[in-house]
Structure formats: C-alpha cells, structure tokens
Copies of this chain bind each other. A is one copy, B any other.
Amino acid sequence: MPPMALALHDEGETTSELTSHGIEHNLPTASQPSIAELDASRLITTLTTQNRSVPKLGSKEIASQKIATDHMITARWTVESGWDAPELRPYGPLSLMPTASCLHYATECFEGMKLYRGFDGKLRLFRPELNCMRMLKSTTRIALPAFNPDELLKLVAKLCATDGAKWLPKERKGHFLYIRPTMIATDSALGVERPKEALLYVMLVFFPPMDNAARGIKLLASQDDMVRAWPGGFGYAKVGANYGPSLVAQGEARRMGYDQILWLFGPEGWVTEAGASNFFVVWRTKEGKLQLITSDLDEKIVLDGITRKSVLQLAAARLVPGYEGLEPLEIVERKFTMREVEEAIEEGRLVEAFASGTAWFIGAIGQVHFRGKDLKIPMGKKEGEMGAYTTLIKGWLRGIMWGEEEMKTHEWGFVVDEE
C-alpha cells in the first residue's frame, strides 16, 4: 500500500473561520486583563472514593447509554472573571436552578468523540483537535463563551488517561467509550440574553457497539412539513437546538420501521443528512463517470463531520487514483437531489450509499423511502455484505482508530498515555 498523501487544504479553512468576527467578540480582549482563559494546567484533581464496577460487555447497563466512568471534567465560566480552574472530580449529578438558561433557551452545545482501545493495546482518540475546534464553532453560534481548543483537548486527554485503564481495559481491544464534551449556560436569570455564566464538562459514557443491520440502514426521506436546518440557521453546529426538534420525525420513522430520517431540504429535495450523520453516494453519472458524492457545506445547513472530512481525504488519497485494481473515481461535493438518487437507482447507475458519523461510524444504506416508494440501494455482491467502497473506507478508518497493522502510527490517531 502506498503512503497516504492527504489533502489537508480544508484544515486551513476551518482555522480561518475560527478567527472570524463572531468568535472574536467572545474572546477576552486586552482591555479586560482580569478575564482568565481556559487553562488545563490549572486542573484541580479530586479522585473518587467510591468503588464502582465496570459494566460487562453486552450488558443492559451498556445498552442504556446512561453509565459514565468514575470521573468527569468540569470548568465554570463567568462573564466577569472568565474561566475558573478546571476540575477533574467524581462523576455525579449537576445542581441547576430551575431558572437556568440552558433549561429554557437551549443555550447548550456538545461534541461527540470516542476513546478507542486499540488492537495493539493502546488508547487512542481520532483527530480530537477537530472536535475541539468544532466545539468552539458551536459555542460561538449559541452565544456561549470561547476557549482555546488546545486546552479542551488536554482536558479530554487527561480524563481518558485517568479512567481509561479501569473502564476500557486492555482486554477490551476493539471496544470504545463515547466522549461527550458539553457546554451549558447556567445563568439563573430568565432574561432572554447572552449567558453570563456557563459550565463546560466532559464525561465518558458506555455506548453499545454500533453494528448496523446486515440489511443496511433503512431511511425515511423527510417531508416538507419537517425541516431540520435552513440557510442562516445553525445546522452546521452541534447545538442542542438541532436535535430535540428532529425527534418527532425520528420517532415517526422508527414506528414505521425505518432507522432514521434522510433529511431533504427545499422544494428541490436536496439531500443533506441521514439522521445525525453525513450521507455519501457512489454512483455512475449518465456520462459514465464514477463519483463519490456528498452534500457541500456552503449553506451551513450540513454538519462539517469529522468522519465526513476523513472519508473525503482518504478517498482523495486512495480511491481517486484507483485502488488495487478498482476503477478510479471522482470526488464531488455539491448539492444533489433525492430525485437524482432515484433516477440513478432506476437506471442502474447507483453503486452504493453510506452514512458517516462518530456514533454510527460508517453504515451501509440498504433502503430509502421517498415519495411513497421504497428504493432499494445496492450493497455488496452477497446478501448482507456492504459495498466495496463502503467496506474499504470503513476498514481504513477502523485501522487508524484501533491501531491496526500499518495504521498504528497514523497521524490521525492520537495516543493517550494512561496513568
């Protein structure tokens, strides 16, 4: 296998956005010298004295998505003094006044990451600096305070280093814990205005393995009366306000036997996201070109997924030139409609489709219900197999995340030194 030449140009774009107008307003300025920045080196550690046991693999506790590890990170912010010293402390309930801003005005955002126990025994994060930068974009959009993303990464790594050895032990190779950095406005004032107090916290939670059904994921295309995001809105940010309002449609989809909503936008039916994941299609154009296509991010209605970005970069490095005898393909980021997908299916041009995201990872799509029809999406040659491109991409990412073979030292894997 050739060494990977990654297209990193879009990283620069992310960075430039992070110094944009909106964010600058939230950062301490020279005229406010007493306002403290988030500083991981000031961490105050209070270890638990409880002896909690690690849930068994396959247990109900793990399936519940309710069980966290021994500790959490917290850091309090106020508009007057900035960031207090962060704390690593026993995991437990938060006390909030009933008037707290986050309970009324959705002044809250989060990130989703995973801690992987590698096949080589090491603990790894996957491109965590990108999550920390996106967290800053989200806090900025929802009027929560700014912080240095490098400091958040240090805090996340510290929590993983502290709890990893016990809660994701070496014998659980190939497993993971879900990492949830969260920021909430804790002002106990009911006025509708920019928060003056906030709490950042990070916890490690057990999630069940995200193995997708052999039939592939079944999606229900959204109707006009239920729109996830819009231009000038906040679809690109991981703010709570994107999730609660999607649950009615999602619940309806599940009752009808589908796994998730495929979110379309506008009268043209642009394909945007599948559930809370990005959506990819491999198809052949009418002119005969093989393409990997996904929605662009231009109107900021689609999440700038880190798995999405990684898929595009891996595909650019490995699939565009043609991989081990596979036909070369083009990568296209543009708006495309569900009708185009339908037509490709009807004309036998659709090769495969998959969803990408941290929680779901890479999931092959087996079916989309659109305008009264169940459209079957091709998967692998044998029943229950994923398509060739989905399989390759998922395998490469898994290799990096869990440190398999030549991927052990891949630059996207961030090794956590355990304590």
Interface residues of A (CB under 8 A from B): 22, 25, 64-66, 68, 72, 91, 93-99, 102-108, 110, 140-143, 178, 180, 182, 184-185, 188-195, 201, 203, 205, 207, 224-227, 230-234, 239-248, 250-252, 254, 275-276
* The residue from B72, B108, B141, B194 contacting A106, defined by CB atoms under 8 A apart: B108
Docked CA distance A190–B111 (Å): 12
Do A245 and B250 touch across chains, with their CB atoms under 8 A apart?
Answer: no
B residues in contact with A68, CB < 8 Å: 98-99
Minimum Cβ distance to chain B for residue A78 (Å): 14
4 smallest A-B Cβ distances: which pairs? A227-B232, A106-B240, A241-B241, A143-B247
Minimum Cβ distance to chain B for residue A67 (Å): 9
Minimum Cβ distance to chain B for residue A217 (Å): 15
Do A94 and B98 touch across chains, with their CB atoms under 8 A apart?
Answer: yes
Do B243 and A234 touch across chains, with their CB atoms under 8 A apart?
Answer: no
Do B233 and A189 touch across chains, with their CB atoms under 8 A apart?
Answer: no
A247 touching B194 in the complex, CB below 8 Å, given contacts A98-B203, A99-B203, A189-B66: yes
CB-nearest residue of chain B relative to A245?
Answer: B234
Do A244 and B94 touch across chains, with their CB atoms under 8 A apart?
Answer: no
Do A108 and B244 touch across chains, with their CB atoms under 8 A apart?
Answer: yes
21 contacts between A and B (CB under 8 A): A25-B252, A68-B99, A96-B96, A98-B182, A104-B110, A104-B180, A104-B182, A106-B242, A106-B244, A107-B240, A107-B243, A185-B244, A190-B207, A192-B246, A192-B250, A193-B251, A194-B248, A224-B231, A227-B232, A227-B233, A240-B241
Do B230 and A226 touch across chains, with their CB atoms under 8 A apart?
Answer: no
Docked CA distance A98–B66 (Å): 10
Do A248 and B22 touch across chains, with their CB atoms under 8 A apart?
Answer: yes
Minimum Cβ distance to chain B for residue A203 (Å): 5
B residues in contact with A66, CB < 8 Å: 97, 99, 188-190
* The residue from B72, B95, B182, B230 contacting A233, defined by CB atoms under 8 A apart: B230
Do B98 and A244 touch across chains, with their CB atoms under 8 A apart?
Answer: no
CB-nearest residue of chain B relative to A237?
Answer: B245
CB-nearest residue of chain B relative to A108?
Answer: B103
Minimum Cβ distance to chain B for residue A209 (Å): 14
A65 touching B232 in the complex, CB below 8 Å, given contacts A106-B244, A143-B247: no
Scoring A94, A239, A244, A246 by chain B CB atoms within 10 A of each residue's CB, the highest score goes to: A244
A178 touching B192 in the complex, CB below 8 Å, given contacts A106-B240, A224-B232, A244-B142: no
B residues in contact with A201, CB < 8 Å: 98
Minimum Cβ distance to chain B for residue A138 (Å): 11
B residues in contact with A141, CB < 8 Å: 245, 248
Do A108 and B99 touch across chains, with their CB atoms under 8 A apart?
Answer: no
Docked CA distance A105–B239 (Å): 8
B residues in contact with A140, CB < 8 Å: 248
Do A95 and B98 touch across chains, with their CB atoms under 8 A apart?
Answer: no
Minimum Cβ distance to chain B for residue A48 (Å): 15
Scoring A65, A106, A143, A226 by chain B CB atoms within 10 A of each residue's CB, the highest score goes to: A106
Do A192 and B245 touch across chains, with their CB atoms under 8 A apart?
Answer: no
B residues in contact with A189, CB < 8 Å: 64-66
Scoring A98, A242, A248, A276 by chain B CB atoms within 10 A of each residue's CB, the highest score goes to: A98
Docked CA distance A158–B99 (Å): 20
Do B108 and A248 touch across chains, with their CB atoms under 8 A apart?
Answer: no
B residues in contact with A230, CB < 8 Å: 227, 230, 233
A250 touching B99 in the complex, CB below 8 Å, given contacts A227-B231, A244-B108: no
